[in-house]
Amino acid sequence: MIETVAIARGPYRAELITLGAALRVLQVPDRNGNRANVVLGFADLEDYRGPPRFYGAVTGRYANRIGGARFALDGVEHAITANDGANSLHSGPLGLDQQLWDVVALTEDAVTFRHVSAAGHNGFPGTLTVEARYRLEEDGLAILLTATTDAPTVVNLTNHAYFNLAGEASGSNILDHVLRIPAHWTTPVDAGLIPTGALRAIADTPFDFRTPRRIGERIDADDEQLRIGQGYDHNFVVEGADSAVRLVATLFDPASGRVLDLHSSEPGLQFYSGNHLAGGAPGTSGRVYAARDGLCLEPQKFPDSPNQPGFPSPRLDPGQLYRHDIAFRFRTAESADDAFAS
């Protein structure tokens, strides 16, 4: 049975569920102090078991895509379960997002979930023990994802929250949100959304968010990568030292004044503009979402890294600790100039 857990601190309140250790509700104040839920989710908990939307879930064992649903490790080829054409997406059916996690610690403002993924699950080597800790802090929500293994494997974990800073119940989409990503490169993809292994400079392209841009400004531009993704669904190579927690994106909603500063210790950021959200079961406010009613900013390793020797390695060996620090920091601003002043 899917269970819910609530945590609160100051003006923030979060509701999480044991299926996928998923963030279902995150209430955040606007510039006038009015709180609203800023993440998408299902009204009925059982709908989380349906066709996967990954709302707020911890995705893995390898988040994002692995081309051909296979990879080699120490000369041994591992065939994993395909669920996105010939490829693996978020580690195939019944990945971490569809597993019931145990609550191993709970306080007023924090909760820790744990799940043990058996060796061979969906073809991945090694027994993987994963923990996800959510903690409300004075300026938002901090997430700590850790994992250990008993055999060499590959790991890439993230949180798959869909944000709409105007509010999940607002009825507005995210095209008027303003985004900044401190990245000079993306990892371009083929027709199956698998990285080619190259890096593409974002200068003079619709992917240049180094200065703040309205998301809808260039989403329908004449660009091959946008056509492949039917909008944004691409990995950005974010600036900063490896494993250092730093600012990887800032998102601003002019209507509510809410600002999200996203921090992460991983080298990549998948920006997905919710291109395929239309339809499905009702969301938490009772309405059915339309395309681009929410967006994902998923910090992570690069997609298909197990097959791309030029990308940062996702390998994890026994005795090592995988650690990914994520923080959703919130504030308010009167204007875009104010939101992006620093």
Distances (CA, A) of 166 to 47, 78, 121, 337: 24, 43, 39, 18
**Torsion angle in degrees (nearest 10) through CA of 261, 285, 220, 255:** -50
Q: What contacts 168, CB < 8 A, 6 or more positions away? A: 36, 37, 38, 39, 40, 41, 283, 284, 285, 294
Q: Hey, what amino acid is at 139?
A: D
> Would the pTM count as exceeding 0.95?
yes
Q: Which of 90, 160, 177, 263 is catalytic?
A: 160
d(CA 60, CA 208): 28
Q: What is the mean pLDDT of residues 188-202?
A: 97
- Which pLDDT belongs to residue 315? 98
Radius of gyration of the chain (CA): 19
- Res 242 pLDDT > 90: no
Q: What is the pLDDT, as a whole number, of residue 241?
A: 67
In this prediction, residues 149-177 reach a mean pLDDT of 98
Decide if pLDDT at 104 tops 70: yes
Asked about 234 being catalytic, the answer comes back as no
Looking at residue 93, its pLDDT comes to 94
Is pLDDT above 80 for 342? no
Output 244 or 106, whichever has higher pLDDT: 106
The pLDDT of residue 243:
73
Give the residue-averaged pLDDT of 182-201.
97
Q: Which two tokens stand for residue 172?
A: 């507005």
What pLDDT is recorded for position 240? Answer: 79
State residue 244's pLDDT score.
87
CB neighbours of 218 closer than 8 A, spacing ≥ 6?
Answer: 206
Ordered domains of the chain (ranges, CATH): 4-339 (2.70.98.10)
Whole-number Å distance between alpha carbons of 318 and 33: 47
Judge whether 237 and 267 are in contact, CB under 8 Å: yes
**pLDDT at 21 exceeding the cut of 90:** yes
Per-residue tokens: 44: 């009925």
> Is residue 274 predicted with pLDDT exceeding 80?
yes
pLDDT for res 309? 95
Average pLDDT score over residue span 18-36: 98
pLDDT tens digit sequence for 244-266:
899 999 999 999 999 999 999 99
Query: Which pLDDT tens digit goes with each residue over 50-71?
Result: 989 999 999 999 999 999 999 9
* 239 labelled catalytic: no
Residue 77 has what pLDDT? Answer: 97
